[in-house]
Amino acid sequence: MPHDHSHEMSPSGHPYRTDDDVPLSYWQQMEIAIREILIEKGVTSAAEIAAQVEAMDARGPANGAALVARAWSDGEFRALLMRDAGAACAQMGFDIGTLKLIALENTENVHNVVVCTLCSCYPRNLLGLPPDWYKSRAYRSRTVREPRRVLAEFGVELGDDVEIRVHDSTADMRYIVIPRRPEGTAGLSRPELAALVGRDAMIGTGLARVPGAAPPGG
Amino acid sequence: MGGAESGAISRDEHDFAFWEKRVDALVILAQARGLFTVDALRRVLEDMGPEAFETMSYYERWVAALNQNLVERGVYTVSELGARMERIAERGVTYGEAADE
C-alpha cells in the first residue's frame, strides 16, 4: 500500500528517505540482481545479509563515546590509547578489524578534525555509519582548504591561538578525535561522561557537551 | 577533491534506505570472502571521474563499483547480470515489489 513517509521521523530524529514505494531505479535493480546472484552462487546467504544490515543499524557512536569517557578518567588507558589505539579498543572489547586506528587528542592549543578527501573512510566500528555531510563534496574539499571556516559553520568557533590539525583518512588508517573534557565534570561516572560525547565531537566538527548545556554544532 | 573550491556543506541527514544498507552489507560480505579489497573498490570509484559525484548518489556509486569488481573477478558475467535485472524489472514498478521474488 503506497504511503508517504516524508513527514515521519526515524527514532534517531532524521527524516526517512523514501524507500520501498518509489519507482524502481536502475541502481536498485542492480542491487537486487547482485544480491540474488551472490546468494544463488553460495557466496553469501539471505540470512547473512540480513544480519549484516541489522548489525549496521545497531551501531552508533556509543563505542567511541565509551572509549573517550574511559580515556578521560583512566590515565593509564589514555596513554595506551594514544600509543596504540587498536590495543586500547581491544581492551574495551571493540573489534576494529585490521584497520590502523589513531587517536588524536584535543588540547587547549590544538584542535583536530578528520576528513576523508578521497571517499568516506570513517571509524565505523566506533562511530557507526558516517553522516551524509562527511561524504559530501563540500566537506571533503573545503575542510583541508579552510578548516577554520568549516568548523565555524558547524558551530565550533576557535580562537586564533588554537592550531587546527586536519587529518585525511585512508582506506586502512582511521582517526578518532578525543575531545577535551569539559569543565565541571569531575564527579561524573564514566557513563555520564560518555553521554557528553557526541559523534561530531569525535570527528572534530563538534565539542564535548558541557553538562546541562546544548551541544555546540549539534 | 581535497582543496577544491566548493559551496556550503549541507547538514541534512537521512537514514539510509533499505537498498542502500543492503549494498553496504554486500560490499562488506564480498570483501570478507576475499573477492576484492577496499582498494579495488576505491579504484573503480575514482575511475568514475568527478561527474559521477554530481550525477550519482553515494550508494549508487558503490553498487556500480561492487558490480565492476565482481564481474572482473569472474563471480558472474555482464550478461548474467543483465538477464537477472530484466527479470527483476518484470516483478513490479517499485523497489518493494521488485525485491520480492
Q: What is the ipTM of this complex?
A: 0.90
Query: Which residues of A, range 167-206, sit inside 8 Å of B by Cβ?
Result: 168, 171-172
Task: Classify residue B8: in a domain, yes or no.
Answer: no
Assess if residue B73 is contained within a domain: yes
Angstrom distance (rounded) from CA B52 to CA A119 = 13
A194 and A122 assigned to the same domain? yes
Question: Does residue B36 lie in a domain region?
Answer: yes
- Tell whether B5 is covered by a domain: no
DSSP A9: B
pLDDT digits (tens, 9 = 90+) for A3-52: 444 344 444 555 544 556 678 999 999 999 999 999 999 999 999 999 99
Per the structure, how many domains does chain A have? 2
Quote the domain boundaries for residue A39.
Answer: 26-58
User: Which of A4, A10, A12, A19 is the best substitution to test chain B (most B C-beta atoms within 10 A)?
Assistant: A19
The predicted-structure confidence for B7-44, as pLDDT tens digits, reads as follows 888 877 777 888 999 999 999 999 999 999 888 988 99
- In a domain, residue B9? The reply is no
Q: Do A36 and B23 touch (CB under 8 A)?
A: no
Whether residue A140 and residue B64 make contact (CB cut-off 8 A), yes or no, is no
Catalytic residues of A: 116, 119-121
- Name the domain count of chain B: 1
Residues of the domain holding B29: 18-99
Q: What is the DSSP letter of A171?
A: T
Would you call A32 an interface residue with chain B, using a CB distance cutoff of 8 Å? yes
Show contacts of A209-216: CB within 8 Å, 24+ apart: A209/A182, A210/A182, A210/A183, A210/A184, A211/A182, A211/A184, A211/A185, A216/A155, A216/A156
Cell of B49: 571521474
Cell of A46: 539471505
Chain B residue with the nearest C-alpha to that of A27: B60
The residue type at A86:
G
Query: Residue B55 domain-assigned?
Result: yes
Strand partners, A163: A110
In a domain, A16, yes or no: no
Q: Distance from B41 to chain A by nearest Cα, in Å?
A: 10
Judge whether B81 lies within some domain.
yes
